[in-house]
Amino acid sequence: MTKVYPTIREIAEALEAWAPPGSAQSYDNVGLQVGDPEQTVQRALLALDLTPPVLEEARAVKADLIITHHPLLFRPLRQLTPGSMVSALALRLAASGIALYSIHTNLDAAPGGVSFALATHLGLQEVQFLAKMEQALYKLVTFVPASHFDQVREALARAGAGRIGNYEACAFAAPGTGYFRPGDMARPFIGEPGKLESAEEFRLEVEVARWDLPRVVAAMRAAHPYEEVAYDVYPVEQPYTRAGLGAIGQLDKPEPLRDFLRRVAERLHAESLRYVGDPEAPVQKVAVCGGAGADLIGRALAAGADAYVTADLSYHRFFEVLDNEGRPRMALIDAGHYETEALTETLLQHWLQQHFPAVEWRRTTVRTSPVRTFIATNVSKKFA
């Protein structure tokens, strides 16, 4: 049997159904960075970052596509020359015919995304978002005649409306009467131009994620029988439960922070950990955020976490977990940016193998982090 290989567009559409680009942070640049979306993909390489060795590896294995977590083109380029690593890599990608796609903070925000993978890797159970996404949800209300009610409702659901937690196609309807007078140039579905009319209609309400709204409104218009579709869109305040940041879960039994630190270091292959906490304090409820997660320290404290594992913490952020006597209310652990996100390669590999089995999905053999740890010995400590 001849294998049918997907295009980059098809792969991107599948990834973006899981991790919508609209859920990415406003500063981010996700999606196809270099390449033709209609190119077919037989072999692809997965990496946390694109570096010169990763590109050389992709060329060596004859990859058609590289998928990274961190975007190469993160900030606008003023020129495309070999003068910097970023622009030089972009030029070499284009010359090699290898496409580049990046899935960054939208994968951080996705259910089962980066922080969920980190939580599972550390042995946490009952994992859920640490912070559900706010200012991401809208209510769409329209008014539909009974004859087309199911048609419009089903079109909205197919377009992504009405997704609440583990439920889909959620909607509410109530009967009522609509009144209108078609203008002289109108071509009404009900009634005649110039004559005041009434129609028995259903008020149909659905919740819609911000990034799905244009597609959902277009689907509603296409399915609705009216020439002029009456509808309202307004923001709702409750958090969106299908996207968020960080994750929180439970170890199957408590263990001393000393043992938990060892667990983190061993499972993440971290050469060192920076932390605040009592080494003998029990740890069971654990919050995590892959990559830079300082902004979620307060969320982890409020959730009652015994420990919070993240990266890129500045010196002063460690003070935020101390009480008025200077004692740690929660262990705060900086395990390293690369170390908390490198498992993204495996996460993507497993997901893509399930959805596109014809493609050969390879993880890079390159450690992409340029950061190294120097561990000194026989160094005197000022306060030893």
| Domain map (residue ranges) of the chain | 8-105+343-363, 114-132+244-335, 137-238
For the chain, what's the residue count?
A: 384
Three-class secondary structure of residue 119 per DSSP: helix
When pLDDT is averaged across residues 169-187 and rounded to a whole number, the result is: 95
| H or E stretch at 89 | helix 85-96
Which residue ranges make up the annotated binding site for a divalent metal cation? 69-70, 108, 337, 341
- With a threshold of 0.85, does the pTM exceed it? yes
Tell me the CATH number of domain 114-132+244-335, given options 3.40.50.2000, 3.40.1390.30, 3.30.930.10, 3.40.50.150: 3.40.1390.30
- Phi and psi (nearest 5°) for 248? -145, 140
Amino acid at 293: G
Which residue ranges make up the annotated binding site? 69-70, 108, 337, 341
| H or E stretch at 249 | strand 240-256
Distance CA 152, CA 224 (A): 6
**Under CATH, which number does the domain 137-238 receive?**
3.30.70.120
- pLDDT digits 0-9 by tens, 313-346: 999 999 999 999 999 999 999 999 999 999 999 9
| H or E stretch at 262 | helix 257-268
Distance CA 22, CA 26 (A): 9
- pLDDT digits 0-9 by tens, 233-276: 999 999 999 999 999 999 999 999 999 999 999 999 999 999 99
The mean pLDDT value of the chain amounts to 96
On whether the CB atoms of residues 340 and 287 are closer than 8 A, the answer is no
Comparing 305 with 382, the larger pLDDT belongs to 305
On whether the CB atoms of residues 16 and 82 are closer than 8 A, the answer is no
Bridge-based pairing of strands 172-180 and 231-235 is unpaired
> How high is the pLDDT of residue 383?
58
Q: Which two tokens stand for residue 320?
A: 């935020």
On whether the CB atoms of residues 24 and 104 are closer than 8 A, the answer is yes
Q: Note whether 8-105+343-363 and 114-132+244-335 share their fold.
A: yes
When pLDDT is averaged across residues 186-210 and rounded to a whole number, the result is: 94
When pLDDT is averaged across residues 132-142 and rounded to a whole number, the result is: 96
Chain-centroid distance of CA 132 in Å reads 12
Distance CA 112, CA 164 (A): 16
Distance CA 157, CA 143 (A): 16
- pLDDT digits 0-9 by tens, 3-30: 899 999 999 999 999 999 999 999 999 9
Comparing 302 with 192, the larger pLDDT belongs to 302
Nearest to 351 by CA among 112, 10, 141: 112
Tell me the CATH number of domain 8-105+343-363, given options 3.30.70.270, 3.40.366.10, 3.40.640.10, 3.40.1390.30: 3.40.1390.30
> How high is the pLDDT of residue 224?
98
